[in-house]
Amino acid sequence: MALVGTEQPRAVLLSGPDVGELEQEYVLAALRSGWVAPAGPDLDRFEEEIAQRAGVPHAVAVNSGTAALHLALEGVGAGPGDVVVVPTLTFAATANAVLYTGAVPVFADCDPATGNLDAELLSGLLATLDAEGARVRAVVTVDLYGSCADYRRILPVCERYGVPVVEDAAESLGAARDGRPAGSFGRAAAFSFNGNKIMTTSGGGMLVTADTGLADRARYLAGQARLPAEHYEHAEVGYNYRLSNVLAALGRAQLCRLDAMIERRRAVRAAYREIFAPVDGVRLLAGDDPAGNCWLTGIVADPERTGWRARELAVHLRARQVETRPLFKPMHLQPLFAGARSALTGAAERLFANGLVLPGGSALDDDQVGRVVDGLTGFLDGRR
Ligand SMILES: *Cc1c(COP(=O)(O)O)cnc(C)c1O
């Protein structure tokens, strides 16, 4: 409750939604059209538009990125008795989707430069699992914080063992690598349109794939696995995963603005880059990636060289109403996955200890970015 004369400046959020008049127009038009069910022209168009953006022929709109991942894993046949390799440095949804199928996740560590799956470690892990006769049904890659994984090295490794890649592209819509768009690398990929992602449908996701059979089956399972008949006919367990046409309309408006929103995030990241460039011991996570979507900017501070810890910077910024967050806590450290098999180098644990995610939302205005910049320079000046 703000008292007169003590008005607080608006908190600077990590990644708030960025919606305006265009979104209102699209949503209102969808409501007025009467298509308020999980079917309708906006849903069809949204699927076509996202498929085109990802450079793949098929897209199935669903009500979360987690649902898209679940369907992708179902689509490559993951089930009880199977193993799925998952990066340890990710959001829990990546690993939870594996559990939904009845398969067991095996965690693999990351490349310290990017936080993405360590291709060399993966190669050794797949060789070991292969020698043991494990049924490895998929390797899930995560395009962390909007930077695509190193597919040039990962894809041949997976091919060698005949293991399909499922791309968790929840954070990377609009990013690219080696001239290919995020979402085009795996047998199937999942985008998220959660409220904090690069674009939002308030909640939603999309499965994209070049595999027609996989797309058809995902669409069928997402619609309660209803078989074609006049009555309700079901032969297997389905899910209520489809996206509403109204939310697809919101997504279409956001997609019109995606490139502009990415540009804004790039500009925010560039401001942080400039501040930290002269600071010994601080680097940007995936700082060399020219084609990331800059969803969020993570910094990594080596306390041996900086003389301060990332958590101290977080405290300093919080006092100025600036939200930050540690990098993802690795899955192998989560109570949920205690005892899970993991191939570790220590890279993810070090990133968790020394990393910090800074506000990067495209809705940040110049004043808010200025407040973060002032907070950062004030902190650094005090530590010199
Ligand atoms: C957000 C996210 C998800 C889940 O997407 P939802 O739409 O929230 O279900 C999965 N994986 C990663 C890496 C994410 O960041």
Q: Encode pLDDT of 261-308 as tens digits.
A: 999 999 999 999 999 999 999 999 999 999 999 999 999 999 999 999
Question: How many whole angstroms from 193 Cα to the centroid of ligand 1?
Answer: 8
Residue 336 CB coordination number (10 Å): 10
- In this structure, which residue's CA is closest to atom 13 in ligand 1? 91
Cβ neighbours around 103 below 10 Å, total? 23
pLDDT exceeding 70 applies to what percent of the chain?
A: 98
* Dihedral sign (CA 345, 349, 355, 360): positive
The ligand 1 atom at the shortest distance from the C-alpha of residue 143 is 13
Ligand 1 pocket mutation, candidates 110, 194, 198, 247, criterion most atoms within 8 A of CB: 194
Structure tokens at 248: 């697809």
Q: In whole angstroms, how far apart are CA 63 and each of 42, 48, 131, 193, 315?
A: 14, 17, 39, 9, 35
- Read off the pLDDT of each residue in 319-327 and give the average, rounded to a whole number: 97
Query: Closest Cα to atom 5, ligand 1: which residue?
Result: 65
Q: Which domains does the chain have, with CATH numbers?
A: 21-256 (3.40.640.10), 258-382 (3.90.1150.10)
What is the set of active-site residues?
A: 197
Residue 320 tokens, joined: 């100025």
The per-residue pLDDT for 384 is 77
Atom in ligand 1 nearest the alpha carbon of residue 66 = 9
Is residue 117 within 8 A of residue 87, CB to CB? The reply is yes
Best residue among 63, 89, 171, 327 to mutate for probing ligand 1, ranked by most atoms within 8 Å of CB: 171
Tens of pLDDT along 43-73? 999 999 999 999 999 999 999 999 999 999 9
The dihedral built from the CA positions of residue 225, 229, 231 and 233, taken in this order, carries a sign that is negative
What is the per-residue pLDDT for 120? Answer: 98
How much distance in Å is there from the Cα of 140 to the middle of ligand 1? 13
pLDDT number for residue 10: 81
Q: Which amino acid is at 190?
A: A
Cβ–Cβ < 8 Å for 238, 224: yes
- The pTM (predicted TM-score) of the whole model is 0.97
Average pLDDT over residues 372-377: 97
* Mean pLDDT estimate for the chain: 96
Which of helix, strand or coil describes residue 297?
strand
Residues with CB under 6 A from ligand 1: 64-66, 90-91, 93-94, 142, 168, 170-171, 192, 194, 205
Of the pLDDT bands very low, low, confident and very high (cuts 50, 70, 90), residue 94 is: very high
Nearest CA owner, ligand 1 atom 7: 65
